[in-house]
Amino acid sequence: MKRILLILIIVALSTSCTKARRATVETTLLLQAKPEQALVSFVRGSNKEFVSIWDRESCIGFLIPRKILQAELTPGKHLFIARSLHTYDFVKADLDPGSHYIILVDESRNGVNFIPIPSDTDEAVVKKWFKNYKAVRTMEQYLRPYGERQLPRIKKYIDEAEVDETRHPLEPYPTKLRAR
């Protein structure tokens, strides 16, 4: 019985990731924010499960392993949510115009984790991600229906996040990245 359950879980995970892969296309990797906007780069490691990324009630896109999902956003307060198949995490941010923010989306035994990359992070690590990972965006025909289906669950996460004050702040990453 345990073996069958394990097989079903593996099939479910691979199916969801395959659908997310079909819904994403490669796009141009942005290295700097425009002066009037903030740039947020969500970096996904080599984990197998896809994650949906939200800015409050708006689904930004799907993030698949070894990819970068970027969002050009208006400066000000934001609540980013990462939702995997069974867990979620969030980070609150007050974005400055012209700044670039980087968030690593990782997993642990407890589920998906947002890890804001602090400004004193080794530049070589960040450059490696931007050199080796491709930027993706989610096609609108997949994004809109998914967002509508998941919104009731996301609203519950937002309510929980509003009262949580334990998260690390999101800082702009100071180094100007260069093209490959």
Residue with the bigger pLDDT between 112 and 109: it is 112
Q: Spelled out in words, what is the top-level CATH class assigned to the domain 2-163?
A: mainly beta
Closest C-alpha among 110, 99, 107, 82 to residue 170 = 99
Cβ contact 168:101 at 8 Å: no
Q: How far apart are CA 32 and CA 52, in angstroms?
A: 23
Q: What's the half-sphere exposure (Cβ side, CA atoms, 13 Å) at 87?
A: 13
Average pLDDT, stretch 29-46?
91
Q: Give this prediction's pTM.
A: 0.82
State pLDDT tens for residues 47-87: 777 899 999 999 999 998 899 999 999 999 999 999 988 88
pLDDT at 125 over 90: no
Domain boundaries, the chain: 2-163
Q: How far apart are CA 100 and CA 33, in angstroms?
A: 6
Cβ contact 41:101 at 8 Å: yes
Q: Please measure the distance between the N-terminal and C-terminal CA atoms of the chain and give it in whole angstroms.
A: 50
Give the pLDDT score at 78.
95
Q: How far apart are CA 64 and CA 105, in angstroms?
A: 10
